[in-house]
A and B are shown apart, each in its own frame.
Chain A
Protein backbone atom coordinates (compact mmCIF):
# COMPACT_ATOMS: atom_id res chain seq x y z
CA UNK A 1 0.00 0.00 0.00
CA UNK A 2 1.13 3.52 -0.62
CA UNK A 3 0.15 6.89 0.71
CA UNK A 4 -3.33 7.80 -0.37
CA UNK A 5 -4.51 4.22 -0.75
CA UNK A 6 -7.64 3.34 1.18
CA UNK A 7 -7.07 0.34 3.45
CA UNK A 8 -9.77 -2.20 2.81
CA UNK A 9 -12.12 -2.79 5.74
CA UNK A 10 -12.69 -6.53 5.98
CA UNK A 11 -14.62 -6.32 9.20
CA UNK A 12 -18.16 -7.50 9.52
CA UNK A 13 -20.69 -8.05 12.25
CA UNK A 14 -21.57 -11.67 12.83
CA UNK A 15 -24.43 -12.99 14.91
CA UNK A 16 -24.50 -16.65 15.93
CA UNK A 17 -28.24 -16.99 16.33
CA UNK A 18 -28.15 -20.31 18.17
CA UNK A 19 -26.15 -18.74 20.98
CA UNK A 20 -28.25 -15.64 21.54
CA UNK A 21 -30.25 -15.67 24.79
CA UNK A 22 -32.17 -12.47 24.16
CA UNK A 23 -30.62 -10.68 27.15
CA UNK A 24 -30.86 -7.32 25.41
CA UNK A 25 -27.43 -6.00 26.40
CA UNK A 26 -26.20 -5.40 22.86
CA UNK A 27 -29.45 -3.69 21.91
CA UNK A 28 -29.24 -1.31 24.85
CA UNK A 29 -25.54 -0.55 24.64
CA UNK A 30 -25.13 -0.21 20.89
CA UNK A 31 -24.24 3.48 20.46
CA UNK A 32 -25.90 3.52 17.06
CA UNK A 33 -29.07 1.70 18.16
CA UNK A 34 -28.96 -0.58 15.18
CA UNK A 35 -29.47 -3.93 16.89
CA UNK A 36 -32.93 -5.28 17.55
CA UNK A 37 -34.69 -8.54 18.36
CA UNK A 38 -35.73 -10.53 15.34
CA UNK A 39 -38.96 -12.40 14.88
CA UNK A 40 -37.10 -15.70 14.46
CA UNK A 41 -36.89 -18.19 17.28
CA UNK A 42 -33.79 -20.28 17.84
CA UNK A 43 -33.79 -23.86 19.12
CA UNK A 44 -33.65 -22.68 22.75
CA UNK A 45 -36.75 -20.56 22.25
CA UNK A 46 -35.07 -17.17 22.19
CA UNK A 47 -35.52 -14.39 19.63
CA UNK A 48 -31.99 -13.77 18.42
CA UNK A 49 -30.95 -10.22 17.60
CA UNK A 50 -30.23 -8.86 14.16
CA UNK A 51 -28.58 -5.79 12.68
CA UNK A 52 -31.31 -3.58 11.35
CA UNK A 53 -29.23 -0.89 9.67
CA UNK A 54 -25.92 -2.14 8.40
CA UNK A 55 -24.90 1.24 7.03
CA UNK A 56 -25.05 2.86 10.45
CA UNK A 57 -22.97 0.17 12.16
CA UNK A 58 -19.56 1.66 12.94
CA UNK A 59 -18.11 -1.74 13.89
CA UNK A 60 -17.15 -0.41 17.31
CA UNK A 61 -17.60 -3.95 18.73
CA UNK A 62 -19.27 -2.78 21.93
CA UNK A 63 -21.86 -5.46 21.21
CA UNK A 64 -19.07 -8.00 20.96
CA UNK A 65 -17.57 -6.89 24.26
CA UNK A 66 -20.82 -6.79 26.14
CA UNK A 67 -22.40 -10.04 24.95
CA UNK A 68 -22.39 -12.67 27.70
CA UNK A 69 -23.00 -15.47 25.23
CA UNK A 70 -20.36 -15.03 22.52
CA UNK A 71 -23.22 -14.64 20.09
CA UNK A 72 -22.31 -11.37 18.40
CA UNK A 73 -19.19 -9.48 17.45
CA UNK A 74 -17.07 -7.91 14.81
CA UNK A 75 -14.86 -10.25 12.86
CA UNK A 76 -12.16 -9.51 10.40
CA UNK A 77 -13.28 -11.76 7.57
CA UNK A 78 -9.86 -11.86 5.99
CA UNK A 79 -8.30 -13.05 9.23
CA UNK A 80 -11.11 -15.58 9.59
CA UNK A 81 -10.36 -16.92 6.13
CA UNK A 82 -6.69 -17.21 6.99
CA UNK A 83 -7.50 -18.93 10.26
CA UNK A 84 -9.70 -21.44 8.49
CA UNK A 85 -6.92 -22.05 6.02
Chain B
Protein backbone atom coordinates (compact mmCIF):
# COMPACT_ATOMS: atom_id res chain seq x y z
CA UNK B 1 0.00 0.00 0.00
CA UNK B 2 1.49 3.31 -0.95
CA UNK B 3 -0.80 5.71 0.80
CA UNK B 4 1.39 7.67 3.11
CA UNK B 5 0.76 8.54 6.72
CA UNK B 6 -0.20 12.21 6.82
CA UNK B 7 2.27 12.74 9.61
CA UNK B 8 5.08 11.87 7.24
CA UNK B 9 3.94 13.19 3.89
CA UNK B 10 4.32 16.77 2.84
CA UNK B 11 2.38 17.74 -0.24
CA UNK B 12 4.73 19.54 -2.65
CA UNK B 13 2.51 22.63 -2.56
CA UNK B 14 2.37 22.81 1.23
CA UNK B 15 5.15 25.42 1.44
CA UNK B 16 2.97 27.69 -0.71
CA UNK B 17 -0.12 27.12 1.41
CA UNK B 18 -0.97 28.01 4.97
CA UNK B 19 -0.81 24.27 5.52
CA UNK B 20 -1.96 24.42 9.13
CA UNK B 21 -5.36 25.47 7.76
CA UNK B 22 -5.70 22.51 5.41
CA UNK B 23 -8.18 20.68 5.01
CA UNK B 24 -9.90 23.83 3.81
CA UNK B 25 -13.58 24.65 4.23
CA UNK B 26 -14.60 24.02 0.62
CA UNK B 27 -17.04 21.23 -0.09
CA UNK B 28 -16.20 17.86 -1.54
CA UNK B 29 -16.21 18.35 -5.30
CA UNK B 30 -15.89 22.13 -5.15
CA UNK B 31 -13.56 23.48 -7.79
CA UNK B 32 -11.98 26.21 -5.70
CA UNK B 33 -9.19 24.11 -4.21
CA UNK B 34 -8.37 22.97 -7.74
CA UNK B 35 -8.05 26.58 -8.87
CA UNK B 36 -5.74 27.37 -5.96
CA UNK B 37 -3.74 24.29 -6.91
CA UNK B 38 -3.40 25.45 -10.53
CA UNK B 39 -2.67 28.99 -9.44
CA UNK B 40 0.20 27.90 -7.22
CA UNK B 41 1.67 25.73 -9.96
CA UNK B 42 1.32 28.50 -12.54
CA UNK B 43 2.86 30.94 -10.08
CA UNK B 44 5.84 28.69 -9.42
CA UNK B 45 6.42 28.30 -13.16
CA UNK B 46 6.32 32.09 -13.62
CA UNK B 47 9.40 32.36 -11.38
CA UNK B 48 8.13 35.57 -9.88
CA UNK B 49 9.66 36.51 -6.54
CA UNK B 50 7.09 35.20 -4.10
CA UNK B 51 7.65 37.84 -1.45
CA UNK B 52 6.44 40.36 -3.99
CA UNK B 53 3.32 38.48 -5.04
CA UNK B 54 0.15 39.60 -3.30
CA UNK B 55 -3.29 38.00 -3.43
CA UNK B 56 -6.44 40.06 -2.92
CA UNK B 57 -9.85 38.46 -2.65
CA UNK B 58 -13.41 39.57 -2.09
CA UNK B 59 -16.22 37.89 -0.22
CA UNK B 60 -17.72 34.52 -0.97
CA UNK B 61 -16.45 30.99 -1.20
CA UNK B 62 -13.80 32.12 -3.65
CA UNK B 63 -12.85 34.92 -1.31
CA UNK B 64 -11.63 32.38 1.19
CA UNK B 65 -8.80 31.49 -1.18
CA UNK B 66 -6.67 34.35 0.15
CA UNK B 67 -6.67 32.72 3.58
CA UNK B 68 -5.09 29.50 2.35
CA UNK B 69 -2.30 30.92 0.23
CA UNK B 70 1.05 31.58 1.88
CA UNK B 71 1.67 34.96 0.33
CA UNK B 72 0.76 38.45 1.50
CA UNK B 73 -2.98 38.04 1.16
CA UNK B 74 -5.92 40.35 1.71
CA UNK B 75 -9.50 39.24 2.23
CA UNK B 76 -11.36 42.51 1.64
CA UNK B 77 -14.96 43.67 1.26
CA UNK B 78 -17.54 42.31 -1.18
CA UNK B 79 -16.80 43.47 -4.69
CA UNK B 80 -13.89 45.71 -3.76
CA UNK B 81 -10.88 43.46 -4.28
CA UNK B 82 -10.02 45.14 -7.56
CA UNK B 83 -9.80 48.74 -6.29
CA UNK B 84 -7.92 47.53 -3.20
CA UNK B 85 -5.51 45.76 -5.54
CA UNK B 86 -5.18 48.95 -7.60
CA UNK B 87 -4.14 50.90 -4.50
CA UNK B 88 -1.60 48.23 -3.54
CA UNK B 89 -0.04 48.26 -6.98
CA UNK B 90 0.15 52.03 -7.20
CA UNK B 91 1.73 52.25 -3.76
CA UNK B 92 4.35 49.65 -4.61
CA UNK B 93 4.70 48.95 -8.34
CA UNK B 94 7.19 46.18 -7.59
CA UNK B 95 4.34 44.05 -6.30
CA UNK B 96 2.66 41.51 -8.53
CA UNK B 97 -0.99 41.83 -7.50
CA UNK B 98 -3.42 38.99 -8.16
CA UNK B 99 -7.14 39.22 -7.53
CA UNK B 100 -8.90 35.91 -6.89
CA UNK B 101 -12.63 36.36 -6.57
CA UNK B 102 -15.97 34.98 -7.63
CA UNK B 103 -18.54 35.73 -10.29
CA UNK B 104 -20.95 37.59 -8.01
CA UNK B 105 -18.19 39.50 -6.25
CA UNK B 106 -16.51 40.65 -9.46
CA UNK B 107 -19.41 41.05 -11.85
CA UNK B 108 -22.36 42.12 -9.72
CA UNK B 109 -21.39 44.27 -6.74
CA UNK B 110 -17.88 44.66 -8.12
CA UNK B 111 -18.86 45.07 -11.75
CA UNK B 112 -18.11 48.75 -11.87
CA UNK B 113 -14.61 48.21 -10.54
CA UNK B 114 -13.99 45.39 -12.98
CA UNK B 115 -14.75 47.47 -16.05
CA UNK B 116 -12.84 50.50 -14.83
CA UNK B 117 -9.72 48.53 -13.98
CA UNK B 118 -9.88 46.96 -17.44
CA UNK B 119 -10.41 50.39 -18.97
CA UNK B 120 -7.36 51.69 -17.14
CA UNK B 121 -5.44 48.57 -18.11
CA UNK B 122 -4.43 48.37 -14.45
CA UNK B 123 -1.44 46.05 -14.12
CA UNK B 124 -3.16 43.35 -12.10
CA UNK B 125 -4.12 39.75 -12.80
CA UNK B 126 -7.69 38.75 -12.08
CA UNK B 127 -8.85 35.17 -11.66
CA UNK B 128 -12.64 35.28 -11.88
CA UNK B 129 -13.92 31.96 -10.66
CA UNK B 130 -17.35 31.41 -12.10
CA UNK B 131 -19.51 28.72 -10.53
CA UNK B 132 -22.69 30.38 -11.84
CA UNK B 133 -24.05 31.06 -8.36
CA UNK B 134 -23.66 32.79 -5.00
CA UNK B 135 -22.39 29.79 -3.08
CA UNK B 136 -21.46 31.08 0.36
CA UNK B 137 -24.85 32.65 1.00
CA UNK B 138 -26.77 29.53 0.00
CA UNK B 139 -27.19 29.35 -3.75
CA UNK B 140 -28.82 32.53 -5.04
CA UNK B 141 -28.92 33.61 -8.66
CA UNK B 142 -25.94 35.63 -9.86
CA UNK B 143 -24.86 37.75 -12.79
CA UNK B 144 -23.44 34.72 -14.60
CA UNK B 145 -26.18 32.19 -13.86
CA UNK B 146 -27.29 30.76 -17.22
CA UNK B 147 -30.80 31.46 -18.45
CA UNK B 148 -33.38 29.00 -17.05
CA UNK B 149 -31.05 27.63 -14.36
CA UNK B 150 -32.63 26.98 -10.97
CA UNK B 151 -31.32 28.74 -7.89
CA UNK B 152 -32.82 29.64 -4.53
CA UNK B 153 -33.86 33.05 -5.85
CA UNK B 154 -34.91 31.85 -9.28
CA UNK B 155 -36.87 28.73 -8.38
CA UNK B 156 -38.82 28.82 -11.62
CA UNK B 157 -35.64 29.20 -13.63
CA UNK B 158 -33.45 32.27 -14.12
CA UNK B 159 -35.10 34.84 -16.38
CA UNK B 160 -32.12 37.18 -16.81
CA UNK B 161 -29.38 36.81 -19.40
CA UNK B 162 -25.99 36.32 -17.78
CA UNK B 163 -22.89 38.36 -18.43
CA UNK B 164 -20.40 37.06 -20.92
CA UNK B 165 -17.39 37.85 -18.74
CA UNK B 166 -14.63 37.56 -21.37
CA UNK B 167 -16.63 39.85 -23.67
CA UNK B 168 -17.18 42.34 -20.84
CA UNK B 169 -13.50 42.39 -19.92
CA UNK B 170 -12.32 42.61 -23.51
CA UNK B 171 -14.76 45.37 -24.39
CA UNK B 172 -13.61 47.33 -21.35
CA UNK B 173 -10.00 47.20 -22.48
CA UNK B 174 -8.34 44.18 -20.91
CA UNK B 175 -4.94 43.23 -22.33
CA UNK B 176 -5.31 39.49 -21.75
CA UNK B 177 -8.56 37.55 -21.56
CA UNK B 178 -8.95 33.80 -21.32
CA UNK B 179 -11.46 31.28 -20.12
CA UNK B 180 -10.85 27.72 -18.98
CA UNK B 181 -12.80 25.25 -16.95
CA UNK B 182 -11.39 23.25 -14.08
CA UNK B 183 -11.30 20.25 -16.41
CA UNK B 184 -8.44 21.80 -18.39
CA UNK B 185 -5.89 21.86 -15.60
CA UNK B 186 -2.79 21.88 -17.75
CA UNK B 187 -3.98 24.68 -20.01
CA UNK B 188 -5.31 26.60 -17.06
CA UNK B 189 -1.97 26.44 -15.30
CA UNK B 190 -0.19 27.64 -18.44
CA UNK B 191 -2.69 30.45 -18.89
CA UNK B 192 -2.15 31.55 -15.32
CA UNK B 193 1.60 31.80 -15.92
CA UNK B 194 0.95 33.84 -19.08
CA UNK B 195 -1.47 36.16 -17.31
CA UNK B 196 0.92 36.69 -14.40
CA UNK B 197 3.72 37.65 -16.73
CA UNK B 198 1.56 39.82 -18.95
CA UNK B 199 1.82 43.55 -18.36
CA UNK B 200 -1.56 45.23 -18.10
CA UNK B 201 -4.99 44.01 -17.07
CA UNK B 202 -5.31 40.25 -17.41
CA UNK B 203 -8.41 38.29 -16.63
CA UNK B 204 -8.98 34.55 -16.67
CA UNK B 205 -12.52 33.34 -16.18
CA UNK B 206 -12.39 29.89 -14.62
CA UNK B 207 -15.57 27.81 -14.78
CA UNK B 208 -15.65 25.70 -11.63
CA UNK B 209 -18.16 23.32 -10.06
CA UNK B 210 -20.38 24.13 -7.11
CA UNK B 211 -21.95 20.78 -6.27
CA UNK B 212 -23.73 21.91 -3.12
CA UNK B 213 -25.88 24.56 -4.77
CA UNK B 214 -25.64 25.08 -8.49
CA UNK B 215 -25.06 21.41 -9.21
CA UNK B 216 -27.64 20.09 -6.80
CA UNK B 217 -30.34 22.47 -8.04
CA UNK B 218 -29.60 21.78 -11.67
CA UNK B 219 -29.36 18.01 -11.81
CA UNK B 220 -25.58 17.76 -11.59
CA UNK B 221 -25.41 16.75 -7.98
CA UNK B 222 -21.68 16.18 -7.70
CA UNK B 223 -18.57 18.09 -8.60
CA UNK B 224 -17.53 15.09 -10.63
CA UNK B 225 -20.65 15.29 -12.81
CA UNK B 226 -19.94 18.95 -13.47
CA UNK B 227 -16.29 18.19 -14.24
CA UNK B 228 -17.39 15.57 -16.76
CA UNK B 229 -19.82 18.03 -18.28
CA UNK B 230 -16.98 20.57 -18.64
CA UNK B 231 -14.67 17.97 -20.13
CA UNK B 232 -17.26 16.73 -22.60
CA UNK B 233 -18.72 20.10 -23.59
CA UNK B 234 -15.72 22.40 -23.71
CA UNK B 235 -14.36 23.40 -27.03
CA UNK B 236 -11.08 25.25 -27.39
CA UNK B 237 -11.29 28.26 -29.66
CA UNK B 238 -8.38 30.50 -28.85
CA UNK B 239 -8.43 33.75 -30.76
CA UNK B 240 -12.18 33.77 -31.26
CA UNK B 241 -13.96 37.08 -30.74
CA UNK B 242 -15.22 36.88 -27.16
CA UNK B 243 -18.63 38.16 -28.15
CA UNK B 244 -19.33 34.61 -29.28
CA UNK B 245 -18.48 32.88 -26.02
CA UNK B 246 -21.68 33.33 -24.02
CA UNK B 247 -22.74 30.24 -22.11
CA UNK B 248 -26.18 28.71 -22.41
CA UNK B 249 -27.64 26.45 -19.76
CA UNK B 250 -26.02 23.01 -20.13
CA UNK B 251 -24.62 24.19 -23.43
CA UNK B 252 -21.23 24.24 -24.99
CA UNK B 253 -18.47 26.09 -23.14
CA UNK B 254 -16.03 27.84 -25.43
CA UNK B 255 -12.65 28.06 -23.75
CA UNK B 256 -9.33 29.45 -24.83
CA UNK B 257 -7.14 32.51 -24.87
CA UNK B 258 -9.35 35.14 -26.47
CA UNK B 259 -7.35 38.34 -26.13
CA UNK B 260 -3.61 38.72 -25.77
Contacts and interface: CB of A to CB of B under 8 A. Distances in A.
Task: Establish whether A and B are touching in the complex (CB under 8 Å).
Answer: yes
A17 B32 CA distance: 19
Interface string A11-54: 01111111101111100110000000010000010101011001
A25 B4 contact: no
Contact of B223 (A23, A29, A48): A23
A23 B12 contact: no
B11 A66 contact: no
B36 to A, nearest CB: 8
Interface size bucket, A side? 35 or more
Nearest to A24: B224
Nearest to A71: B11
Contact of B29 (A23, A50, A76): A23
A83 interface: yes
Give the secondary structure class of B's interface: loop
B3 A51 contact: yes
Contacts, number: 110
A70 B33 contact: yes
Interface string B215-241: 000000011100110000000000000
Interface stretch (B17-25, B78-86, B110-118, B166-174): B17-25
B137 interface: no
Given A21-B29, A28-B224, A44-B23, A70 B2 contact: no
Counting contact residues on chain B (CB < 8 A from A), the size range is 35 or more
Given A16-B11, A44-B23, A46-B28, A68 B34 contact: yes
Nearest to A49: B3
B30 interface: yes
Contacts of B91: none
A23 B11 contact: no
Max chain B C-beta neighbours (<10 A), residue from A29, A38, A64, A70: A70
B185 A62 contact: yes
B94 to A, nearest CB: 28
Contact of A25 (B3, B23, B24, B34): B34
B6 A25 contact: no
B143 interface: no
29 contacts: A13-B2, A14-B3, A15-B2, A15-B3, A16-B4, A16-B11, A17-B3, A18-B23, A19-B6, A19-B11, A19-B22, A21-B23, A21-B27, A24-B223, A25-B224, A25-B227, A54-B2, A65-B41, A68-B30, A68-B31, A68-B32, A68-B37, A70-B11, A70-B13, A70-B17, A71-B11, A73-B12, A75-B9, A84-B10
Interface of A: 12-19, 21-25, 28-29, 38, 44, 46, 48, 50-51, 54, 62, 64-71, 73-76, 80, 83-84
